[in-house]
Amino acid sequence: MANSIRYFIGNWKMFGVPSSYKIIEKFESHFRKDKKNNKKYKIIIAPPHTLLQDFSKKFKYKKISISAQNCHYKDNFGAHTGHVSPYMIKNLGVKYIILGHSENRASGETDTMIKQKVELALKNNFVVIFCIGENKLEKRKKRTLNVLKKQLYNVLNKKLNKKNLIVAYEPVWSIGTGKLPASAELVNSINHIKSNLTKIFRKRIPPVLYGGSVDSSSVHLFKNVRLIDGFLIGGASKSAKNFIDIIKNFYK
Ligand code: PGA
């Protein structure tokens, strides 16, 4: 069974300028009007670092939460040109952080670094959205389940504060490509993730989201996969209409 609340998380990646808060205002206004369903879901938007301070102030007393997209793996301050620490981001009033995204893994982030990031972010009281997922080659070689298990065990352990963890399953080959996993494949992967999370954390495991080419026309395909606790949405979260239509179509 899915947890009771579903997440619709928008990952803006390298997108947005100060006036882009207007897009998030539209999400907020949809949420307020959606009396029929809005107790069933939560919206979180992850703009780039440049907008975190401004947006977290603007949405402090609103229904939408703001997330960061990454952070450095050690220290509060240090000689790490161009990087920011969880401590620095937390001081802006940001509550959530995406870690382990495949685009960062592709540019050199290792499981060991992700583990350090997750631990440091949890220490700074973030809710961590931890991304895992197999790439095309791993899928072709039928290694998906092994890869997912390894990514989970290399980073998570039972001592972590599981209440502040969300896992996002994002098959790398599906991100930004319009390609979606077949429903049986997806059920298999999510079941595998949940059963490994149960082995790590026992009862009450973190929610597990799906991400990869979710948009307003594909979201209905996930309706029957009750195990999914929500979605991490890239491309389609940059437009108010697309993102709101995802939510509308999911509850239609
Ligand atoms: P996408 O990206 O929705 O554009 O496929 C998802 C993600 O990278 O989180």
Q: At what angle do helices 144-155 and 111-123 cross, to 10 degrees?
A: 50
Would the pTM of this model clear 0.85, i.e. be above it? yes
pLDDT at position 204 is: 92
**Cα 234 to averaged position of ligand 1 atoms, centre (Å):** 4
- Give dist(CA 139, CA 7) in Å, integer: 26
| Pocket mutation for ligand 1, best pick of 7, 8, 9, 11 (most atoms within 8 Å of C-beta) | 11
Q: Pocket residues for ligand 1 (CB within 6 Å)? A: 11, 170, 175-176, 211-214, 232-236
pLDDT at position 3 is: 52
- Give dist(CA 46, CA 165) in Å, integer: 16
Question: Given the CA of residue 176, which atom of ligand 1 is nearest to it?
Answer: 5
> Tens place of pLDDT for every residue, the chain, 252 residues?
455 799 999 999 999 999 999 999 999 999 999 999 999 999 999 999 999 999 999 999 899 999 999 999 999 999 999 999 999 999 999 999 999 999 999 999 999 999 999 999 999 999 999 999 999 999 999 999 999 999 999 999 999 999 999 999 999 999 999 999 999 999 999 999 999 999 999 989 999 999 999 999 999 999 888 899 999 999 999 999 999 999 999 999
Q: Which tokens go with 186?
A: 């997806």
In single-letter form, the type of residue at position 206 comes to: P
Q: Which positions are catalytic?
A: 101, 170
- Give dist(CA 104, CA 100) in Å, integer: 7
Which residues neighbour 167 within 8 Å (Cβ) at sequence distance 6 or greater? 129, 130, 131, 132, 152, 193, 197, 206, 207, 208, 209
Protein residue closest via CA to atom 2 of ligand 1? 234
Write the DSSP symbol of residue 26. H
Q: Which tokens go with 150?
A: 């390894």
